[in-house]
A = this chain, B = another copy of it.
Amino acid sequence: MSNKLYVFGHQKPDTDSITSAIVLANLERALGLDATAYKLGEVNKETKYALKTFETEEPLTLDSVDENCDVAMVDNNEFSQSVSGIEKANIKMVVDHHKIKFETVEPIFYLAEPVGCTATILYKLYKQNDVEIDSQIAGLMLSAIISDTLLFKSPTCTKQDVEIANKLSKIAGVDIETYGKEMLKAGTDISEFTPYQVINIDSKEFNDKNTKFEISQVNAVDLDSVFSRQSELEDAIQKEIQDKNLDFYMFAATDILNANSKIIAIGNKANAVEKAFGVNLENNTAMLNNVVSRKKQMLPNILNNLD
């Protein structure tokens, strides 16, 4: 038997990061490996809803990996977003759909495709390896695609994501629209969260051109209710900026029904955000029409406007 393979997504996991770890570990087990899925942080409400619907246990939490431990990364490829110790782990596989910043000493399996969701790529890996997709695995993959593409509304969504989601919904036995809206809604309830928890629901740190910044995103069905807490959210953001020595922080509340985002941007270089989207920050906020995707819209626009 080979060494144990640890499979996990990124820190502050979203639905794709959790379910794709489960789905890839299941595939690798079917192919004879001793693979186990882990999570790198607390599971959010949307993901909990998906796991409950498809009767799946939450993966255990992984705090760090040992030197030369065999690992597979899903839904990310950047060490800064991964587990403690990843630099010295033995990375066997990466399956991802993000921009690439990666280096190895030896050849490995690395599959990235410019599609909306890691699950879309994993569906094809199951097919390629002739491994059956049961209703549970199909439901988890479908949940990830709905989550990452905001029910196909995100510009990151491709024809492949839609086609594969339709196939998966048949296997999983759920209606995409009905299930999808319920799942997304489950993720927007932030009423019980502290401001710190709100901005850390799905937040990623980036570092480019000597600029260190963080983009945090929450889904919402009612932007006003999110911004009724603007003042305390700003306090939490200011603390993050100080603690992490960030040049700026952008928080985006994305209206999943109307496909817009309202942002808070704070920090010495917050003008990069104004340049990136052609807006003026008023009271630290701005409305970004038709902007819903961090990966395809927020991040590249900002990267192109750093000095």
Contacts and interface: CB of A to CB of B under 8 A. Distances in A.
Interface of A: 97-115, 124, 128, 295-296, 300, 303-304
A104 B98 CA distance: 9
B113 A124 contact: no
B108 A100 contact: yes
Nearest to A91: B100
A99 B110 contact: no
A97 B128 CA distance: 19
A108 B103 contact: no
Most B CB atoms within 10 A — which of A101, A105, A107, A295? Answer: A107
B114 A109 contact: yes
A111 to B, nearest CB: 5
Nearest to A125: B128
Contacts of A300: 105-106
A179 to B, nearest CB: 26
A99 B106 contact: yes
Given A124-B128, A128-B128, A98 B103 contact: no
A296 B102 CA distance: 19
B98 A107 contact: yes
A104 B296 CA distance: 13
A167 to B, nearest CB: 16
13 contacts: A99-B107, A100-B102, A101-B104, A102-B103, A105-B300, A105-B303, A105-B304, A107-B112, A108-B112, A109-B112, A110-B113, A124-B128, A128-B128
A122 to B, nearest CB: 14
A230 B112 CA distance: 45
A260 to B, nearest CB: 22
A102 B110 CA distance: 12
Given A124-B128, A128-B124, A128-B128, A108 B114 contact: yes
B109 A104 contact: no
Contacts of A128: 124, 128
Given A111-B111, A124-B128, A128-B124, A103 B106 contact: no
A166 B104 CA distance: 30
A114 B103 contact: no
A300 B106 CA distance: 7
A113 B113 CA distance: 14
A106 B114 contact: yes
A50 to B, nearest CB: 23
B110 A110 contact: yes
Given A102-B100, A103-B101, A128-B128, A110 B112 contact: yes
A228 B104 CA distance: 38
